[in-house]
């Protein structure tokens, strides 16, 4: 039996979803706008030879209706390529990952929509009392880097953690690793996860940082997500039920609430995540799934609206793909996708509702166009069929239609 590798290029949207206007995202195009910015700059067009061979610009052209700037003419793709449309409402990390793994969210996550005084007073009062806090700071929509720059000094002086949210279904808590304490931050987030049950919030995120007011603050790699559990059986569950192993690299384990995970491999930064993926593949036996989320595309470049940084990260990721392909053996498959968009040219700092790529390659896989897929769940169903698992609850296998 073969192995499967699933790589999530977190936030790499490839053009507005059909319902993007309902989210205020008509015209958003993460990949297309990055390519256009590069082509217009002195640095020149995006250099993505390996992703191009797999079919990324082809999938973008299918989703957006035009070839990305600087990438025409497109060569014949050597992988299987297409685009996917999310069926679930929203544009957040859990719903995108869960649907890709075969569980389509039927009820949208709750949101804290008010830009200021975002959280219900009773929620904050309970958190302050039960966590024995002197109070909280923030209580608003904010960028994670901006709010620690603005409130970090007051946080250190007062001992009050910083709480904030966004257009996504999140309750985020930022605190200094030394002055507040990393384990203390995790305890507060664990309690917040329990208190948030009535609001159906997808994730509580611990956002630790270091530094001093005189020199500035920097977020660390000790982020931890406390997600709701998927409301159904995922591809990860199915692999484990069949006796296979799931290697969850990066924040995959957090996103699936550690369910269906045999081994969790933590790493910070794309190179470390790629190294951990190769290490997991070296350990993986037949029937195993290796799943990796490359979070920096989203958290470091997309949310911070850093177009040059996002472009450089894509090129660095592309340059390492041959290592992975060389480590694969007959019968293996690697699938690349995303969970939503985060267009770095778009107003604000939130995710964008976009189509995402579906790229597949394997030593024995014949190249072909996969078309426009009606659900992210087609990815999970395809990997389930590849691993000879029983069909998942949602999706049409991209390998068999």
Does 114 map to a domain? no
Residues 219 and 81 in one domain: no
- CATH number of 155's domain: 3.30.70.1250
- CATH number of 63's domain: 3.40.720.10
Closest CA to 372 of 333, 398, 352: 398
Q: What percent of the chain has pLDDT over 90?
A: 97
pLDDT at residue 167 in the model: 86
1 pLDDT band (50/70/90 cuts)? low
To the question of pTM greater than 0.85 for the whole model, the response is: yes
Residues 238 and 358 in one domain: yes
**Token pair of 378, please?**
């087609």
- The overall average pLDDT reported for the chain is 97
Residues 285 and 251 in one domain: yes
Residues 246 and 374 in one domain: yes
For residue 253, is pLDDT > 70?
yes
Q: What domain range includes position 352?
A: 4-106+230-386
Does 348 map to a domain? yes
With beta carbons less than 8 A apart as the criterion, state whether 255 and 246 touch: no
Over residues 131-154, the pLDDT tens digits come to: 999 999 999 999 999 999 999 999
Domain end residue (candidates: 226, 247, 267): 226
For residue 37, is pLDDT > 80?
yes
Closest CA to 63 of 359, 377, 366, 360: 359
Residues 203 and 237 in one domain: no
Closest CA to 35 of 3, 2, 66, 4: 66
Residues 101 and 205 in one domain: no
For residue 302, is pLDDT > 70?
yes
Residues 221 and 245 in one domain: no
Residue with tokens 């996504």: 168
Does 28 map to a domain? yes
Residues 167 and 135 in one domain: yes
CA-based diameter of the chain, in Å? 62
- DSSP strand E in 59-106: where? 80-84
Strand 203-212 relative to strand 216-219: parallel, antiparallel, unpaired? Answer: antiparallel
Over residues 42-69, the pLDDT tens digits come to: 999 999 999 999 999 999 999 999 999 9
């Amino acid at each position: 039996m073969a192995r499967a590798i699933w790589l999530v290029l977190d936030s790499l949207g490839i053009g507005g979803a059909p319902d993007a206007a309902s989210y205020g995202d008509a015209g958003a195009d993460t990949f297309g706008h990055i390519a256009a910015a590069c082509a217009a700059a002195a640095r020149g067009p995006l250099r993505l030879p390996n992703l191009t061979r797999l079919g990324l610009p082809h999938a973008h052209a299918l989703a957006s209706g035009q070839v990305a700037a600087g990438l025409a003419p497109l060569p014949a793709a050597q992988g299987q390529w297409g685009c996917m449309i999310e069926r679930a409402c929203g544009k957040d990390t859990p719903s995108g990952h869960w649907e890709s793994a075969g569980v389509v969210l039927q009820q949208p996550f709750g949101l804290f929509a008010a830009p200021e005084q975002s959280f219900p007073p009773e929620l904050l009062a309970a958190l302050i009392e039960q966590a024995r806090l002197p109070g909280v700071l923030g209580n608003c929509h904010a960028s994670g880097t901006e709010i620690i720059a603005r409130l970090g000094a007051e946080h250190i002086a007062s001992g009050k953690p910083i709480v904030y949210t966004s257009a996504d279904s999140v309750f985020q808590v930022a605190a200094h690793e030394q002055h507040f304490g990393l384990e203390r931050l995790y305890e507060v987030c664990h309690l917040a996860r329990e208190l948030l049950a009535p609001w159906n919030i997808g994730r509580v995120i611990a956002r630790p940082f270091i530094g001093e007011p005189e020199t500035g603050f920097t977020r660390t790699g000790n982020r931890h997500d406390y997600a709701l559990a998927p409301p159904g059986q995922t591809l990860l569950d199915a692999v484990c039920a069949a006796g296979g192993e799931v290697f969850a690299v990066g924040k995959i384990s957090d996103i699936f609430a550690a369910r269906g995970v045999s081994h969790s491999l933590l790493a910070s930064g794309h190179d470390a995540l790629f190294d951990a993926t190769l290490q997991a593949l070296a350990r993986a036996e037949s029937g195993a799934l290796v799943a990796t989320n490359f979070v920096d595309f989203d958290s470091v470049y997309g949310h911070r609206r850093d177009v040059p940084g996002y472009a450089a990260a894509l090129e660095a990721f592309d340059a390492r793909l041959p290592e992975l392909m060389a480590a694969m053996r007959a019968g293996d498959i690697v699938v690349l996708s995303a969970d939503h968009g985060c267009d770095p040219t778009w107003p604000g700092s939130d995710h964008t509702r976009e189509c995402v790529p579906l790229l597949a390659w394997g030593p024995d896989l014949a190249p072909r166009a996969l078309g426009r897929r009606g659900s992210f769940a087609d990815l999970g169903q395809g990997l389930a069929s590849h691993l000879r698992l029983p069909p998942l609850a949602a999706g049409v296998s991209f390998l068999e239609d």
